[in-house]
Structures are given as C-alpha cells and as structure tokens.
A and B are shown apart, each in its own frame.
Chain A
Amino acid sequence: MAIGVLALQGSFNEHIAALKRVGVKGEQIRKPEQLQNVSGLIIPGGESTTMAKLAEYHNLFPALREFVKMGKPVWGTCAGLIFLADKAIGQKTGGQELIGGLNCTVHRNFFGSQIQSFEAEISVPEIVAKEGGPPSFRGVFIRAPGILEVGPEVQVLAEVPVPSDKAAKSDPAVENVEENAASEQKVIVAVKQGNLLATAFHPELTADTRWHSYFLKMLSETNQEASSSTSLSSENLSFCEPPKYDLPIFQQ
C-alpha cells in the first residue's frame, strides 16, 4: 500500500520520513501518471502558488481532481489545505488554481508573515480518541492559513485562539465572513470531510506520528486494497540519486 506525496515543492521529504516512521512507503508524485499507483495522497506544506504553477505546467490538476472525486483519501497540510479548499482569500493578483473539494473558505497567511509564525499546543479530541496518546498535539504554524468558515458536512477537528493583535485588526476582505460569532475568538485549523483531511499546521515537522496513522486509517476505511498494479518503475531516465538523509525534528 503506497501513499503518494505530491513532490513539486515543500516539505515532501518530511512527510515521507514521517510515513517511514509508521511503516509505510511514500512515493514522490510529480506527474499525472504516477497517481495511478498510489492509494492515497498527501499534499505537503510549502508555497501553494509555486505548487499551483508547477501543477499547471505538468497538467496535474485534472488528474488531482479526478483522484479526489474517486473518493481516495487526500490529506493537505498548510499549502495542501489551500489546494483542497473550494474558496481561498488572500490570493496573489491573478489568483491561483485550486483542486477544490473541501467545502470551506480558507484565508492564506491568516496569522501574518514569519514573525507571526508560532507553535501552540492544540487539543484534538478526535485524534486522541482514535490514536490515544497525550491529549494535546504540538502544532507548528508557519505562515499558516486559517479556515474561516466550513460547510455543514465538514467535521471540525481542531481550533486555535486567534492571537489578540490579529483579532483587533479589521481586514476589509473578510469583514463579512467574520460576522460568525464563533470565528471571532478562534479559528479553525483542522477539518475532515469524507475522504479529505486538512490541517493548517505541520505534523510532519514534529515527532508525533498520530496524524499520519490517522490518515492511514482513513485509507483502510475507504477499503482500498493494495493497488492492482505494483508501482511501475517510475524512474524513467532519472539518474541514481544519492541516498537521502532526513533533517532532524527540531524541538525545544
């Protein structure tokens, strides 16, 4: 059972390392045909505009949308969340293409630039119920997006309080959305909708593998048998790559 990790840019190596820790092989996905060999997909953190451009160049969007429609599990972290959302605010001039499928509105760079990036302990009752372990999870938010509103069929898994200086700012672009009393103090940062999972933070940057095993359980829930064709050699003409060494997990 191979899980694909979209390897256009960003923290795909970190996801593959985390998958290795839970005993699953991660396949790097750069071209549409490679999606046929995997039973689930992770869209890593990184720059969503860069990934969108690269996906456009190689005509990945139709294949990705097909993948989502087929009901195969997809997990988007940070930039991946933006890809999966139906609507995104705070886009660059000219906009960017999205895969869509997750009925929510996401705000890019919700918390601000790098100076506002932070770590926070978030409580995720759903994950704790399914995976056990400590009641809170170390959430690493790097120029993270925030989910402003969700549709009725979307299950909210985690929220964080909005930092006070952010709540004070009035952002004309989202004024009408912020009427929701609920989102004034807290912002949604993890959701699940059927076969789609999305987090605004980065579990792949931590030593906690519970999100990865939770995602793996989603695979078995949708009854995906090991894919019919063993992954064909996707090496093509690529040269023998030097062995990959992983970055450490940084923690205090």
Chain B
Amino acid sequence: MAGSGVVTVYGNGAITETTKQSPFSVKVGLAQMLRGGVIMDVVTPEQARVAEEAGACAVMALERVPADIRAQGGVARMSDPQLIKEIKQAVTIPVMAKARIGHFVEAQILEAIGIDYVDESEVLTLADDENHINKHNFRIPFVCGCRNLGEALRRIREGAAMIRTKGEAGTGNIIEAVRHVRSVMGDIRVLRNMDDDEVFTFAKKLQAPYDLVMQTKQLGRLPVVHFAAGGVATPADAALMMQLGCDGVFVGSGVFKSGDPARRARAIVQAVTHYSDPEVLAEVSCGLGEAMVGINLNDDKVEREGFWYYKDYVLACQICSSLGVYIVHMHVSLVSESGNTTDDFKLPTDENLLNRIKNGFEEGKDLVVCAMGEEQICALKDIGPKN
C-alpha cells in the first residue's frame, strides 16, 4: 500500500479500551523495540544475568522451562511472584512472565508486580478452554501464540500486542515452529495477491475479523510484531526463523538446557542480528558444545513412551463424528500430516476413559492420548481449545 503508512484500526466501538491510560501504540512500542532480538527463558536470577550478559533483549521468568514441564507433567501454573520479582531486580532489561490461557487474575497479579509483558501461554495448563483473556482490559501488553493466520488475528482482536508462533515448546525440535510460520506467511502471501472482493470469504475461512484481515492484506504483513518460538536450539534455527520472516526469536529450553549456556546464548543473539550472513553464522556455530537433547516426535521409541501429538488426530476424530460413525471397533486410527495412518492403537477398556474419548470427539476437542508401551490408550489430555 502506498501512502504515509498511517493505518487506523477501525471497529473499536465494542471494545472497552481505556485509550488514554493504555494506548495500544505504547503496548506495541515495546514489542517494536524488541525486534531483532532474542528473549530467553530463565528460572533464576543468576540465569537472568547470564542472559543479559549474553545480549538477550528481554527475559521470560519461569519456575520451570517447557522441557521440564513436559517431563514432569502435572498442572503448570503461573510462577511464584517472589521469583519473578527477584529476576526483575537482577536485570535491567524487560522481564516477561507467563499466565495460563484465560486466567485473567494471574495476568492481574503479573501486572501488579510491574513486569513488562505477559505471555498468555499454551505451555502452561489451560485455565479456560473456550476463551482467552480480554487483553484490552489491561495496561500491561500481552504476547500470544498462534499456529496459523486466523489464530493470530483473533488474538490481536482480543488485544494482543505481539504474536509468536506456538511451535513445539520444550522439544528442541524446530519443525512445528517452521510449520506455523509457513502457515502464517503462506496465508499472508495468498492474501496479498487476492482480489479485494474475495477477502470476505477468506476472512470467514480463517475465522478471523474481516477488518484485521483487510489490514493484513494492505500492510503485506501481520499488523503486529511476530516472533518465533518453540524448539529453537541452535544459531542456525534462530537464523532460519528470521529468514522465514519473523521479527525476533524466543529461546526457551534451548539455552539453559544445553552444554554451555552462556556461549550458546551469545551465539544465538549474534545469529539473529546477522541472520542473512552465512559467514557470521558459520563462525558463531563453531564449538558450541552440546545442544539440548530434544524430542523427535517422529521417533518410534519416543511415541511408545510419551504423548502423541499427531496434528491431524483431531481431523480424524472430527471426520468420524461428523459422519456419525461411532468408534465401535475398539480401534483408533491416527492420521499424520504426511497421510500415513497407524491403526494399532486400541481404545481403552476402561469405561470412564472410553467415554471421555468419545465425548471429546463429539465436542471436536484437541486430544492427546498416551499409550504407555501397550498400544492401548491409557490416558488422555486436552491440549487446547480449537482455535
């Protein structure tokens, strides 16, 4: 779009935004200052100092990094405010912290401590499986995750001032983050070339507000700062995300779960600045020590012992329930992205669990099932609302 670059967001009537106290421009302003930078997960003040020394532009204060949350299970909640306060006192760079999706009181508490950003995070256990926090009610800005363009725009309409990919946190595996970025960028590329008249239907398909879809089309990019997150473990990963079009990178377990955190942190910071300069990338990738081990979701061995995260599992369930087919043959068919199916998962014999799975299909939920080496489903977990 030619012109001065001034774009007003219209359709604000229904949103109660206290514009004088917390203008959206100030919320996004901080995100714009974080562009080209690396935001690192830290669990102690010492780690925060290491991150600041290495050149992180902000830190994310947590009690447990995503890799540990995955390993330990249970319910993951907002961290102890005392810990967050200690981390805030240890550094001069912005401090972020996570709140559960939909848990607006955790967000109120984080705002009261005076940190700089709240991450409404799917890494923590869901507090509300249908609604996210109404971020317009807060003075503190929010960053939210997304898997595709529709989700990103819905979060922005709710008031998110910064967007990141969801990725596969805690695995050290970049594939999901790449998938999500390609999905967002791909849809934006389609949108840019689309006839204006077709945007109405495209907005319906994306399940996103029309005005934001149109704004995205005019800008040629997401209307807010877009970071990569989830599985970044090496400088090459960070540079990959930057070249794919992200404005910056979150690194979680990737730094402090590696062999030499300070060195790796510095290398990733340099990689994000010099993302299109392979000579610098080669130089900083040398001699970094061990990367975080990570989890390969396609690894046979891992599948049997851990949680399945087949993206299209939901699709298979939806197809079943929409066709009115009840899963009576004690078999669950899992369809992966590449179209492979695996039919060797039996439904549980336990009544309770069986009913939960059937109800889950009917409601169209995202379910993760656990099959502990038995090839029979023995547990399931709700991984998020269908948005």
Which residues of A approach B to under 8 Å, CB–CB? 7-14, 17, 21, 30, 45-47, 49-50, 53-54, 57, 78-79, 90-94, 108-109, 112-115, 117-119, 140, 142-143, 202, 205, 207, 236-239, 241-243, 245-252
Give 13 CB contacts A-B under 8 Å: A9-B35, A9-B37, A10-B35, A57-B270, A92-B93, A108-B92, A142-B30, A207-B4, A207-B5, A239-B278, A245-B221, A246-B5, A248-B5
Which partner residue on chain A sits nearest B90 by CB separation?
A93
Are B49 and A8 in contact, with the CB atoms below 8 A? no
Which partner residue on chain B sits nearest A250 by CB separation?
B25
B387 contacts partner chain A, Cβ-Cβ < 8 Å: no
The docked-state distance in angstroms from the alpha carbon of A109 to that of B49 is 17
The interface residues of chain A lying within 8 Å CB-to-CB of B225 are 247
The 10 closest A-B pairs by CB, nearest first: A53-B55, A250-B25, A114-B116, A245-B220, A248-B7, A245-B221, A238-B276, A47-B57, A142-B29, A9-B36
Q: What per-residue 1/0 map shows which CB atoms of B1-25 lie under 8 Å from chain A? A: 0001111100000000001000111
The interface residues of chain B lying within 8 Å CB-to-CB of A30 are 273-274, 277
The interface residues of chain A lying within 8 Å CB-to-CB of B54 are 53
Selected contact of A237 from candidates B34, B88, B114, B278, CB within 8 Å? B278
The docked-state distance in angstroms from the alpha carbon of A232 to that of B32 is 29
Are A117 and B37 in contact, with the CB atoms below 8 A? no
Which of B35, B56, B243 is the most central at the interface, judged by chain A CB atoms within 10 Å of its CB?
A: B35
Are A92 and B52 in contact, with the CB atoms below 8 A? yes
Are A11 and B33 in contact, with the CB atoms below 8 A? yes
The interface residues of chain B lying within 8 Å CB-to-CB of A54 are 55, 269-270, 273
Are B30 and A46 in contact, with the CB atoms below 8 A? no
Are A114 and B57 in contact, with the CB atoms below 8 A? no
The interface residues of chain A lying within 8 Å CB-to-CB of B139 are 115
The docked-state distance in angstroms from the alpha carbon of A8 to that of B277 is 13
Which partner residue on chain B sits nearest A205 by CB separation?
B29
Given contacts A50-B93, A117-B26, A242-B243, 10 further A-B contacts (CB under 8 A): A30-B274, A53-B266, A54-B270, A92-B53, A113-B115, A117-B30, A205-B32, A237-B279, A250-B28, A252-B25
The interface residues of chain A lying within 8 Å CB-to-CB of B114 are 112-113, 115
B124 contacts partner chain A, Cβ-Cβ < 8 Å: no
B172 contacts partner chain A, Cβ-Cβ < 8 Å: no
